[in-house]
Amino acid sequence: MKLSDQFEARFAEMLTHYPTKRSALVPTLLYAQDELGFLTDEVIAELAQRLDLTELEVRNVISYYSMLTTKPRGRYNVQICTNIACMLRGGEEILEHCERKLGVGHKGTTADGIFSLEEVECIGACSWAPAAQVNYDFHENLTTEKIETVLEEYKKKAP
């Protein structure tokens, strides 16, 4: 496995920002995932070694954060919040609408590989509920019409 020169430059720079190597773990995992699509066994072993952690410690962190994954997923990961504020304002309807529209359920990936769908806990956008996150972008005050437009726009952008 070879990580890009850009990754190496970011990694080296990141280490200068923290008092201990382990503090760089989450951003390092995100950079690696952006590059590889998901966190492979090989990259987990490599990053554990670089940051003086065990593979188990790295895996524990990955399992805590819903934006990190050890499995391949679609180009756009659609995360729909159904926690309390979003649930009260229609988050479950938004999720059901996405399930129908994409033809997949929780943690499913569309056959064309463009979308993955996930039901998630609070994403910190409660004041603008119901909310969703697609990769790094937030979409707020959603309605079923709005999320449909959002999905169509990502589909048009897909490589």
Strands laid side by side in the 108-109 sheet: 108-109, 115-120, 76-81, 132-134, 137-139
What span, in angstroms and rounded, lies between the C-alpha atoms of 27 and 157? 25
DSSP, collapsed to helix, strand or coil, labels residue 151 as: helix
Strand partners, 121: none
According to the binding rule CB under 6 A, does residue 29 interact with ligand FES?
no
Q: Which of 23, 40, 83, 143 binds ligand FES (CB under 6 A)?
A: 83
Residue from the set 47, 53, 123, 134 that interacts with ligand FES by CB under 6 A = 123
Query: Which residues, numbered 126-145, are part of the site for ligand FES (CB under 6 A)?
Result: 126, 129, 131
CB of 67 to ligand FES, least distance (A): 14
- 18 and 25 Cβ atoms separated by less than 8 Å: no
**What's the closest the beta carbon of residue 139 comes to ligand FES, in angstroms?**
11
Q: According to the binding rule CB under 6 A, does residue 44 interact with ligand FES?
A: no
| Residues of the shown chain interacting with ligand FES in the complex, contacts defined by CB under 6 A | 81, 83-86, 122-126, 129, 131
